Amino acid sequence: MNNRLVVNNRSIKKLFVFLLVFCTVASWIAPSLTAEAVNLPYTIHESREAQYIASGVLYENIRRFTSQGWWNINVIRVDLTNEYAEIKGLMSEKGISNRDTVSNMVSKSKAVAGINGDFFDFSPISSPIGAFISEGKIISSPVAKEYAWPSFLIDYNNKAEITLLDRKMAATSLTSKGTVTIHNINKFKPAGDGGVILYNKHWGDKTPGGKYFDDWVEVVVDNNIVTDIRIGQEPVKLKENRYVLAARDFYRDGLLKHFKVGHEVKLSITLVPDLENIKLAIGGGSIILKDGVPTATHNNVRGNHPRTGIVISKDGNELILATIDGRDVSFKGVEQNVFGAIFKELGAYNAINLDGGGSTTMAVKPIGEEVAKVVNKPSDGGERRVINGVGVFSNAPVEELSYIKVETDDKNMFLNTTRKFTIKGYDRHHNPVEIDESKAIYTFEGVEGEISENKFKAKSSGKVTVQAYYEGLTATIDLKVLDEVETILLPIDKFNIDVNSKKSLGTIYGMDKNGFKAKIYPEDIDWTVIGDIGYVENGVFYSGEKIGSGAITARIGKGINNILVSVGSGNGVFIEGFENIEDFKSTTYPEFVKASISLNEEAKEGKASIGLKYDFTEGEVSRASYLLFAKDGKDGLALEGNPSKLAFWVKGDGNGPWLRGTIRDKNGNRHTIDFARSLTTTQWQLVEANIPSDIAYPIILERIYVVEIDANKKYAGEILIDNLMAHYPVSYENIEVPEPSSFRDSKNTKVDKAEDGFSLIVTRTPANLKEIGGQASVNKILDRINKHELGVFVGGINGEVSKAVKLDQIINIKTPFKTNRYKNVMLIDASSAKGGLRPTNPQQWLWLQDRLNNAAEDHIFLFLNTPIWGQGGFTDPLEAELLHKTLVNTFERGKSIWVIYNGSTNKVDVKDGVRYIEFNNRSIETEEDLKGIRTIEFVVNGKNISYQINSAY
C-alpha cells in the first residue's frame, strides 16, 4: 500500500520495550499464531475460467457473487515439481529504487505472469520495507529479525516456505581494524534513521547523495578500496565492483572514524537461512494461514480492501499467487482473515499477504504474445508503480504439435450470414506452434448450412457445433444461429470524406426479433450507393473525384439502414489572421523548453503573421512549444458550425518538427490533429488537418504546436503561422434514402383470446384516484380491469376499485419477496429499493434462483421497484448483468420472461429474449396526471403470449 504501514526502527524499539515492561504477548521474535474464526458470506453465484499459460502454470479467474458482494479472484497455480516452471523476483530494470508497473516488469523480464510484491516507502525515494533476495544476491536487506515481518522464500530445489529472516551485516576497515554494523542494504528511510546503509548497483544509477540531509556521509568503495569520502555532496554513480556506505546523524561517526581514502574494506554478510540457497525471498505483511488455520501474526490492515498473497500447498508441490479486487462499485474487497480463508478454499496450507490496496495487481502474458495484460481491476483505476513483484517463468522448449484450438470473432450469428474460423496450435508445454491453416478441414452439425474452407454459412437457426481437424487433431466450438436480421446497427450515421479517399465503415452488428445481437461481416451485406460519390468494397467506402453528397444503404434479411456521406468540402472560411499578439499566449513542455511568440512583418496574407520560437536543444524526452488561442481571455478559439477540416499557412525553418493541433469537443474531450508530420520546407506552404468524423460538435481550437519526439534530435528555430481557415462539408440535405427498418416487438400486438386462454391486466389505481378524478375515473379504469380474469396492481389496489372488480384473482405488487401463480403464469414481487436485489436483501437471489429453476409455468413476470440499468438502477453493474443473464438462461429453457419496473415513463426494451417494461409510477396530483396511467394488457393462449400498452384515461 504505502509507507503508512511502516514503523521505523526507533519507534519499534520503544514499542518493544513497552511490550516487555507490561508483560504482554510475545515479542516480534516469536509472534503468536492466533487462530481467527472466519464467517464467510454465502455464495449466490460463481463462475470459473481457467487456462494453461505455460508448462505447469495455470491461470484461473474466479468470479464469485456473495451475500456481501462480488469477489474477483485471480489465481496463478504453479506446479513446483514441473522442471520448466520457475519462480523469480521482479523489479525495475533501473534498480530497486525505481518503481514500475507489474505488467511492464512481467513483459520486460520475459515472465509469463506476475503479481506485485512487498510493502514500500515511496517518498522521498522508493525502497522496499522487507527483504528482496534474487539468485542468492541481496537486492534489499531484511529488517532485523526482532522487528521483521515474515518473508516468502523459495530455494533452488523449489522448496517454498514462509518464515522470518535473520541477518548479520558489517563492514571492517582492514587498515584501521575498525568495524561498523550495516543496518540496511539498498533502502532509504524517510526520517533518515536507517543506520549505516550499503548501496550497490542494484539500488539504481546513483546513490541518494546529500540532497535530503546536509550531514549525509558517503564512503565510496571500489574493488574493496575506499576511493572517496563525501559529506553532503552530489550523488555517486553506482557501477560494477563499487558500493557505497552511507549514514547520517550519530551513525556517520563510525564511518568517519574507521574509514579513510585508501583503506581496504571487508564486508561480512550472513543470512539465516543461508543466502546461497535462496533463489527468491520477498517481504510480506503477515502470515494469514498457518498449517491450514486462518491467523494473523504481524501487520493486519483491517477493513475490506484489495489483497495480494502467496500460498503454499500442504505437500509443498504447488505455489499459488492470488489477488482479490476491492474499492470498486462491484468488487468490495475482503478482510485479511477472509483472504486467508479464501486461500484455504483454493488449496492452501500456508499463506502470506503482500502489499495490497492500490498496489494489488496481477499481469498475465497471453500465449504467443510479448506484452503482459493486467487481468485484475486495480483500485486506482490503473496500474500503480510498485517496488517489486513475484514472477512466474517458463523455460520449456518448443516441441511438436500437441493440440489445437478453434476460434471465431463472435459466437452468435444470424441466419443466412457467415462466420470465419481460425485454428491455433500448441505443444504439450502450451508453447504456440506454427501451423498451416490451409490444411485444416472443417465440418459442422446441428443446423442446416454449408462450409467452404474456413467459412460457415447458416441456413437455419439453432445451435451448431463446428469441428476443426488438423493432422489428426480435433477441436470444436459451439455457436448460436439467431433468426434473420430485423435491424442493422451501424457505428456511424454520417461522415465527410475527402475526394479520392477511403474510410472503413467499422464493425457492424444486427438484432433479431428477440433482441439478440451479433456481428455481421461486410461481405454478407448488400451495399448500394446513392449518388455519384464512390463505392463500397469489403466494408470500406472509396470516394470518387467529384465533390457532392449521397448515401450508403445496407440491406440484409429484413434490416435496412443508411449512412449519409458528403465528399469534399467547399472553399475555406477565414477564421484568424494572426495580426494581434494580445490574442495569443505560449507555453512549453517540459518546463525547461524555451519558447516565445511575436508578431512578424513577413506574412502570407494581410500585414503580419505570428512567429513561434522554440528551443529543443536540451532534454532527453519529447519536447513541445505551443501557441495558445486566448482572445478576450478565453481558453481557445470557438469554431462555428461543424467544420471537417482546418488549414493555415506556415513557413518552416527546415528543422522538421511535427506540426500538430489540439481541439476540444462539447463534452470536454481533447483530440489531437496533425497538420504536418515533418515540417522540413523553408517556404510558405498550406497545411491541413482533418477533424475526427465522430467528434461531438461544437468544437474549440485550443492550440497549434510543434513537437519533437526523438530525444536524439537537438535544434532550435522559429516557424511563422498565418491565415487560419475552416472547411465545411458539403450539405447532407435533399438526399432521399430508403426508410430504415426499426425493431418491432412481435408480441406487442392485438390477439384474440382462445377458448382455453385468459387475459390479465397490469396497472395501478392510486389511493387518491377518486379524490383527483371523481367516481368517473374509478368507473373508467374498472371498465378495463373487468375485461380480464387476473388483475395485477402495482402498489396495491385502490379500496374503491377493489369493491367493484370482477376478477378471478387479484395480485397486489407491494410486499416483496412474494411469489404468485395463476394458471401457467408466475408473478414474482421483488425489491431493488436499495440499489439492487442483494443490497436490499441478498436472500432474494436464492429465492429467485429457486423459483426460476423449478418453474413449471410458461410465463414468468418479475416486478421491481427500480430500473436495472441507467439512472436510478442497480448500483452494481455486475449484479445487473448477472440478473439479465439469469433471466436469459430461463428464456432459453422455453419460458417467456417479463420484467416490469417502476419508472417515469412507459417504454419496452427487448434484450436477448427478455422484455423490460418501464411502468410510469409518478405520483398523481392533478386530473391531468391521470393521463399518464397506463394499462399493460396480456392475452395468454397456452405457451403463446401477447400484450398491448393502453392509456387508462
Domain 166-272 shares a fold with domain 573-727? yes
Nearest to 784 by CA among 634, 948, 904, 922: 948
pLDDT (0 to 100) of residue 144? 86
Sign of CA dihedral 176, 181, 186, 192: negative
Question: What is the spatial distance between Cα 286 and Cα 151, in angstroms, rounded to a whole number?
Answer: 9
Q: pLDDT band at residue 15, thresholds of 50, 70 and 90?
A: very low
Sign of CA dihedral 195, 201, 202, 204: positive
Which residues contact residue 218 at a Cβ distance below 8 angstroms, ignoring those fewer than 6 apart? 207, 209, 228, 229, 230, 231, 233, 236, 244, 245, 246
Other beta carbons less than 10 A from residue 928's beta carbon: 10
Topology of domain 403-482 in CATH is Immunoglobulin-like (2.60.40)
Nearest to 5 by CA among 118, 139, 153, 165: 118
Topology of domain 487-567 in CATH is Immunoglobulin-like (2.60.40)
Question: What is the spatial distance between Cα 823 and Cα 758, in angstroms, rounded to a whole number?
Answer: 9
- Please give the single-letter amino acid code of residue 7: V
Q: How confident is the model over 387-403, as a mean pLDDT?
A: 98
* Domain range list for the chain: 34-120+283-394, 166-272, 403-482, 487-567, 573-727, 758-951
pLDDT (0 to 100) of residue 693? 83
Retrieve residue 845's grid coordinates: 437471489
DSSP three-state, residue 781:
helix
DSSP three-state, residue 125:
coil
Is residue 914 predicted with pLDDT exceeding 80? yes
Pairing of strands 907-911, 508-511: unpaired
Which residues contact residue 593 at a Cβ distance below 8 angstroms, ignoring those fewer than 6 apart? 614, 615, 616, 618, 619, 623, 624, 625
Nearest to 79 by CA among 101, 56, 58, 97: 56
Nearest to 874 by CA among 852, 915, 894, 845: 845
Q: Please state, rounded to an integer, the average pLDDT across all residues of the chain.
A: 94
User: For 166-272, CATH number?
Assistant: 2.60.120
DSSP three-state, residue 714:
coil
pLDDT (0 to 100) of residue 38? 84
DSSP three-state, residue 181:
strand
The superfamily (CATH) of domain 573-727 is Galactose-binding domain-like (2.60.120.260)
With beta carbons less than 8 A apart as the criterion, state whether 485 and 511 touch. Answer: yes
Question: What is the spatial distance between Cα 167 and Cα 183, in angstroms, rounded to a whole number?
Answer: 10
Question: What is the spatial distance between Cα 905 and Cα 267, in angstroms, rounded to a whole number?
Answer: 79
pLDDT tens for 872-912 read 999 999 999 999 999 999 999 999 999 999 999 999 999 99
User: For 758-951, CATH number?
Assistant: 3.60.21.10
pLDDT (0 to 100) of residue 190? 72
Q: How confident is the model over 840-846, as a mean pLDDT?
A: 98
Report the largest interatomic distance among the alpha carbons of the chain, rounded to a whole angstrom: 112
pLDDT tens for 400-438 read 999 999 999 999 999 999 999 999 999 999 999 999 999
With beta carbons less than 8 A apart as the criterion, state whether 141 and 23 touch. Answer: no
> What is the value of pTM for the model shown?
0.87
Choose between 849 and 7: higher pLDDT.
Answer: 849
Which residues contact residue 345 at a Cβ distance below 8 angstroms, ignoring those fewer than 6 apart? none
Q: How confident is the model over 527-552, as a mean pLDDT?
A: 97
With beta carbons less than 8 A apart as the criterion, state whether 675 and 689 touch. Answer: yes
Please calculate the CA angle 429-432-437 and round it to the nearest 5 degrees: 135
Is residue 951 predicted with pLDDT exceeding 60? yes
Q: At what angle do helices 843-853 and 877-891 cross, to 10 degrees?
A: 10
DSSP three-state, residue 880:
helix
